[in-house]
């Protein structure tokens, strides 16, 4: 696993590169006990810089494939249990996480997002759902149901308007 695996996906995007290099190193530290022993301080620093200063909640627990692109990385919230495939695009003000049940408890399952998914700005992807490969989700969409591969989704609630 290279900490530079997202470098090419974020050309001319210094902020995106900085966030993702720091995320990849934090994930590396988290996954290897020997590194955790020497670099536990880095995880604290990562949280302070990424969440408090840059305002992007990209926890090191989230499983993200290579080639992630962050456009205008601000107000991005990703749950630690989310799985995101390879070559995806995330834009500003996007939330990907679990949902609250009617009784007030939280459902532990989070979205699983396939490969080559393009997520517009101000999108909410919530709950135990799967987004297939090669999906485009339009800005401002609220996705609470699974989406098959090769689809275009827009609206609140998100509806499939086109199959690619």
The answer to the question of residue 3 being in a domain is no
Q: Which domain holds residue 115?
A: 8-163
The answer to the question of residue 14 being in a domain is yes
**Looking at residue 94, what is its pLDDT?**
97
- Record the pTM: 0.92
Local structure of 95: helix, strand or coil:
strand
CATH of the domain at 44: 2.160.10.10
Token output for 137: 């989700």
**Looking at residue 127, what is its pLDDT?**
93
Local structure of 26: helix, strand or coil:
helix
Mean of per-residue pLDDT scores for the chain: 93
The b/e string for 7-21 (b: 16+ C-beta within 10 A; e otherwise) is bebbeebeebbbbbb
103 pLDDT more than 80: no
Give 118-148 pLDDT, tens digit per residue.
999 999 999 999 999 999 999 999 999 999 9
Decide the pairing of beta strands 56-57 and 76-78: parallel
How many domains would you assign to the chain? Answer: 1
Give 32-62 pLDDT, tens digit per residue.
888 888 888 999 999 999 999 999 999 999 9
pLDDT bucket at 30, cuts 50 / 70 / 90 = confident
The answer to the question of residue 1 being in a domain is no
pLDDT bucket at 101, cuts 50 / 70 / 90 = confident
Instruction: Give phi and psi for 119, each to the nearest 5.
Output: -110, 120
């Amino acid at each position: 696993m290279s900490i530079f695996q997202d470098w090419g996906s974020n050309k001319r995007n210094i902020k995106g590169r900085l966030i993702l290099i720091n995320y990849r190193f934090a994930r590396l530290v988290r996954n290897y006990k020997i590194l955790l022993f020497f670099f536990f301080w880095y995880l604290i620093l990562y949280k302070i810089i990424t969440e408090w200063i840059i305002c992007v909640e990209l926890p090191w627990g989230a499983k993200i494939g290579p080639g992630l692109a962050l456009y205008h990385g601000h107000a991005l919230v990703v749950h630690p249990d989310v799985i995101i495939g390879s070559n995806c695009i995330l834009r500003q003000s996007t939330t990907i996480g679990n949902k609250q049940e009617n009784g007030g408890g939280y459902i532990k399952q989070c979205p699983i997002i396939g490969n080559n998914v393009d997520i517009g700005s101000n999108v909410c992807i919530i709950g135990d759902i799967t987004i297939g490969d090669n999906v485009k989700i339009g800005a401002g969409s609220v996705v609470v149901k699974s989406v098959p591969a090769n689809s275009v989704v827009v609206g609140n609630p998100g509806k499939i308007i086109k199959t690619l």
